Every structure is written in C-alpha cells, then in structure tokens.
Chain A
C-alpha cells in the first residue's frame, strides 16, 4: 500500500495575489540562504539567495527577507501566477565550514486561477 507521510504546510492563494512563504532556520552561524522551487516531478531549482550581511534582496517578482535576530527567512512572490504552484524550500549554509545545504521541510504553494 501507499505510505502516508507528514503533510506539508500549504499556502493557497488566488492568481494575482501576493504570496509570502516563511522559513525558520536553526543555525545561528549560517550566513548564506537560498530559496528553491520544486515543481512536480522535477528537482529543486534556484530562485534567489541572500547573504547574512543583507536583510533584503529582490529579484524578478520575488523578494527575500532575512531576520537574523529571530532566525527567520521569507520569500515574497508578487502577482502570483498558476505557474508558481510548487513546493518551496529554504536552505541554510555556513560558508566558513563544509558547504552542506540544510533544507527546511518545504511549503506547498497552490495558486488558483
């Protein structure tokens, strides 16, 4: 039979709305953070990154905010589109040590037309 695992946190939005996906990281020594997007049946793809000497970075329709005080990262997607539907992961890294990305559990974003 099919195994049942934990359910992912899910965010449902309407097309055109702004989406905010949150991530708490664990290592206060982490100084490099990445957001990945994983569409069904594919490997994770890079969206945007940020270093710990910044608190905000903007890309095309996406913004990442970093709050080191509370070890929190967020990804904002403007004017969300159906093609944004995917699972989003944050990853934390420590550049001074061995380069091993540690991933959060992920958030499933569902965009309704």
Chain B
C-alpha cells in the first residue's frame, strides 16, 4: 500500500515561530503537494513539486515556502507563523501526468498558531 506520512498529527506553535511540516512518501512518486483545509473552503493548494528541487506555487503560497531535497520528502515551511495559518495541512503524492493513479494523502497535521 502507498504510504504518505506526515511527521505530526497535531502541532501548537506561537506567532512568529518558524514551523516545519514534513511529509514522506514511499511510492517513488514524482509529484507531491501541500494543501490546507479550512471549514467550508475545501482543499486549497499551497505548493507542489514535480521533481527534486523543483517547486511551483499553488493558489495560496503567501506566507509559505517548500523544500524538496529528496524525491520522497516534501517539506512545508511557515517562515513566521501567524494565527491565520491555523488550519489542517494535508500532504499528497501522485504519479506523473497521464498515470492512472490518484493522489494519495497523508493523515493531516492540525496546526494551531497561538
């Protein structure tokens, strides 16, 4: 089974802290994604990566950055956490365009910024 693992289920951070959310997948997928999920707003794409060291902005990249130094690992970074970044963060991985496979999700990290 494909496994996408996020390092933390729950995090509480203070305003202004630098926050790292880690995601690891074990299926050798090229594409990885970070979404945030807020009540009634669905999943909104923050950043995605289609290869090592490659990254593209999604719909809401402001306040975030990402790092993909290895194929299996995609990190989301909040340079200076703010309360409006309190949310559920979901990492996903998928095969390249044209593949049959759907995006596989991690279990999510619920981040609270106080």
Residues of A within 8 A of B (CB): 3-8, 34, 36, 41-46, 49, 89, 91, 95-106
A8-B40, A100-B33 known; A43-B94 Cβ under 8 A: no
A18 to B5, CA, bound (A): 34
A5-B40, A34-B102 known; A96-B107 Cβ under 8 A: no
Cβ of B26 under 8 Å from chain A: no
Which chain A residue shows the least CB distance to B42? A105
Closest chain-B Cβ to A103's Cβ sits at a distance in Å of 4
Which chain A residue shows the least CB distance to B48? A100
Contacts of A49 in B (CB 8 A): 100, 102
A101 to B103, CA, bound (A): 8
Q: Which of A3, A5, A43, A99 contacts B108 (CB 8 A)?
A: A43
Contact B106 A99 (CB under 8 A): no
